[in-house]
């Protein structure tokens, strides 16, 4: 909701957050907050990055599935 009420501030925060995320070299970002999920996903698409946003439980499920393979 913050990104709707305080759009300009949220975009400044997103720019800083996306810079930090990119610097990690990760291809998956995990967050349990739906607003953060939407905002980070927007940042990924805007920058045409090859990464995805997952809920931590989805990330764990994927890891367990890969471990069983």
Per the structure, the complete domain to which residue 40 belongs is given by 2-68
Give how many domains the chain has, as a whole number.
1
- Average pLDDT of span 2-9: 85
**Residue 2: is its pLDDT beyond 90?**
no
Extract long-range pairs of 19-25: CB within 8 Å, 24+ residues apart. 21/51, 22/47, 22/49
CA–CA dist 31, 68 (Å, integer): 24
Nearest C-alpha neighbor of 39 from the set 9, 62, 69:
9
- Average pLDDT of span 5-25: 95
State the average pLDDT for the chain. 93
| Entry pTM | 0.85
Number of C-beta neighbours around residue 23 at 10 A: 8
User: Tens digit of pLDDT for each residue in 21-56?
Assistant: 999 999 999 999 999 999 999 999 999 999 999 999
* Helices 34-46, 7-24: crossing angle, 10 deg rounding: 70
- Average pLDDT of span 57-61: 96
């Amino acid at each position: 909701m913050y990104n709707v009420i305080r759009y300009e501030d949220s975009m400044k925060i997103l720019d800083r957050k996306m810079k930090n995320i990119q610097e990690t070299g990760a291809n998956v970002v995990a967050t349990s907050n739906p607003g953060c999920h939407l905002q980070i996903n927007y940042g990924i698409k805007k920058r045409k990055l090859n990464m995805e946003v997952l809920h931590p439980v989805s990330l764990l499920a994927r890891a367990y599935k890969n471990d069983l393979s």
